[in-house]
Structure 1
Amino acid sequence: MTADPDVAATRAEAEGMPHPPLLVLDALAAYLAETGLGDDVRAWRRIGDGHSNVTYLIDVGTRSLVLRRGPRPPLPPTTHDMLREARVQRLLRDAGIPVPQILAVCDDSAVLGVPFYVMEHLDGDVITDALPAALDGETERRGVAEATIDALADLHAVDVSVPPLATLGRPEGYLARQVERFASLWGTVSRRDIPAVETLAGWLGANLPASARTSVVHGDYRIGNLMFRRQAPATVEAILDWEMATLGDPLADLGYFVATYAEPGAATTPLELTPVTRLSGFPGRTGLVARYVDRTGADVRALEWYQTLALWKAAVFCEAIHTRWLDGERPGDAFAPTLERGVPALLREAARVAGVTADPAPAGDPRSRPRPSGTAR
């Protein structure tokens, strides 16, 4: 036995577990051997702060690899597409964007229950609730934030007008589709009635800005999804977590970054995953937006709309996480229970940014309501 409820040593052990494991070690070792990456799986450790897809650091012989897979099935259609995520990273690496090298992609669900990919392990720091010593001075803290903005500007400068990058999405109508899609999801992922969801959907739809240009949109761009080199000055070694990447309006990334960037006096929400930016030395949101404008020439007069979109979308996908936890599909997840109040907090902040009156209070106890028909998991 592995003594890990998410990991099985063998397929036989996996079949006797109450929930499908995230790793099956003998099946993984056989796959890695077949692809030439080694068969001596010596250690494994879950890494990253993501609450959607799952990332493991795997020690194979004398080298370390990183494995990325979706959560336990069943999965909603078109979500957690590891094959597409790996393809995005390969294309962006070819375009000069710092991303880990993809070493193998497995589309055979018989190995781990879902498709997955394996990439190189980079020796750097991901910044969340603590800073590495080399980047923990006043000057270095500013450098971390500025390097983050510069990497975003570089990503948005990639030419997406020609194949193969031009095939990554449908930029026309991107913002309208985002609003329509997430508005339609609430009824399938939630057991709660929260009037603010519909109010904000209406406001977003009625105030849709015109997109000035098209770029790669990361979809979850924040400091916690970057890896920094271990020495000063702050340098982005890799941009991680490309699950939601597509082509669309680059200000969607900037709005999301601003909405997730913690600064003194800002409201705390479940999107605050790198709270160290509240410390002295880190520039405020306004200064970072100005740096992005200097790098790109973007018109950011409608940025509050994009911030509102980010917070409202986050409320919807966080509600899906909370519902899966209520249904016993995320055992041992300490984050999911906090979303009972975290989702209303996101909606409250979205309403504040938009300047609208919206009631974020849920009606009734979510545990007392049955799963809606056709609920996406």
Structure 2
Amino acid sequence: MPGRGPDELFHEERIRDFLEARGLGSGPIRAERIGEGQSNVTFRVRQGDADLVLRRGPRPPLPESTHDMLREAALLEALGSTALPVPEVLAVCEDDSLLGVPFYVMPYVEGRILTTEEPEGWDRPRVRRTVSEELLDTLVALHAVPVDAEPIRGIGRPEGYLERQVRRFAALWTANTRRDLAVVADLAEWLGAHVPVSQRFSVVHGDYRLGNLMFAREPGRSPRTVLVLDWEMATLGDPLADLGYLLATSADPGAPSSVMQLSPVTRRAGYLTREGLAERYARATSLDLSRLAWYEVLALWKSAIFCEAIYTRWLSGERPGDATFAPLLERGVPELLEQAEERRSAA
């Protein structure tokens, strides 16, 4: 369990008292860190018969407008009125004196998250294709949620979404890097000068990928989506931003790898390729994908920028214990930018 300090990640006594005061658990706590997220921190918390998940941001100081657990919890509560498979928010803590940052609590749900390995029996092409179809069809369902009525309308301001993304991430690079990579500003200028006209608006997840879906597979049934996770960056905007991000970070057979290909299982036979995912999305939505390369450039450029923030925090000693992901970013960030430049040539 993490050490004790003013910004500790977890504190058994304080969380025990918090949960008991809200009738969510009773007695001693058992907690373990779960998930492979590189941004926010998630714990499975068991207290008596209660089996819960606590989600919080990383240790402060935090970049402005990032890791906002209160906003994420409010967004999940709004989406809870839809048929989307989103986590149920059981309690929210705005008091940062407990853990140094706000957090929220949701029920623990059993399921499978696919990253580097597949569960037994899932290694067949038919099952793999079903997983890909679930991944894409869940995205289509997300983008079909009506956005013109409360509480969904309160999630964000869709007009000007793409322009704001370019401005915001350009500023984040300046605030979170220690090195000079001129291609970042060059890509920002190109993105800003070639912003597509959004065909429509939708809920946008912002980090939609296979590793943020949890699957269940009951006996006699194919894999099905039971939860979509990690809604920190969700808002209202252009749905093709999600599709561009999904494609840009998907692992395709024979395609160059990157630090953002967090579910490399999709290189195996049976999973839909990027082209196959795009074709299925186009059939389901009837949206014009002729400018899709622009959205992929945006996704790779943004990924490089938030990975650079992780790398800088690691260099500053703010990610103790990270011996795997952050060290890769010295080269991983320039590689993402190289791939963004390659996609720009196709836009």
TM-score by length of structure 1 reads 0.89
Per the alignment, residue 91 of structure 1 pairs with: 78
Residue correspondence of structure 1 range 109-128 to structure 2 within 5 A:
109-128=96-115
Q: Which moved more, 1:239-248 or 1:164-173?
A: 164-173
CA contact (8 A) 1:7 1:25 kept: no
Aligned counterparts of 1:274 and 1:236: Cα–Cα separation in 2: 16
Determine if contact 1:7/1:24 at 8 Å carries over to the other structure: no
**Paired residues of 1:57 and 1:67 also in contact (CA < 8 A):** yes
The structure-2 alpha-carbon separation of the partners of 1:291 and 1:163, relative to structure 1 and needing over 3 Å to count, comes to same
Q: Distance in 2 between matches of 1:250 and 1:41?
A: 44
Match of 1:346 in 2: 336
2:9: which partner in 1?
22
Q: Deviations over 1:190-248 (max 9, x none)?
A: 01001111111111111110001000000000000000003341210010000000000
- Residues 176-191 of structure 1: matches in 2 within 5 Å? 176-191=163-178
Instruction: Indicate the RMSD between aligned Cα atoms, in angstroms.
Output: 1.2
Corresponding position of 1:60:
47
259-268 or 246-255: bigger deviation? 259-268
What is the percent sequence identity of the aligned residues? 53
**Is this contact kept in 1: 2:24–2:50, CA < 8 A?**
no
Q: 1:265 aligns with which of 254, 273, 287?
A: 254
**2:233 alignment partner in structure 1:** 244
Mapped to 1, the partners of 2:256 and 2:47 lie a distance apart of 43
Which amino acid is 2:236 matched to? L
Residues 310-355 of structure 1, C-alpha deviations (whole Å, 9 max, x = no match): 0000111100110111111111112111100000010011111111
State yes or no: 1:213 paired with 2:200.
Answer: yes
The aligned counterpart of 1:332 is 321
Unpaired segments ≥5 residues, structure 1: 9-13, 357-377
- Large movers: runs of 4+ above 4 Å: none
**Bigger shift: 208-217 or 127-136?**
127-136
Kindly indicate whether the alpha-carbon contact (under 8 Å) linking 1:322 and 1:337 is maintained by their aligned counterparts in 2.
yes
Give 1:7 deviation, angstroms. Answer: 4.6
- What's the CA shift for 1:63? 2.8
- CA offsets, 1:31-56, max 9 Å, x none? 01101111334321111111111011
Point out where structure 2 has 5 or more consecutive residues left out of the alignment. Answer: none
State the partner residue of 1:105: 92
Among 138, 156, 168, the residue aligned to 1:151: 138
* 1:62 CA displacement: 2.5
Letter in 2 for 1:221: Y
Partner secondary structure for residue 101 of structure 2:
coil
The residue number in structure 2 matching 1:295 is 284
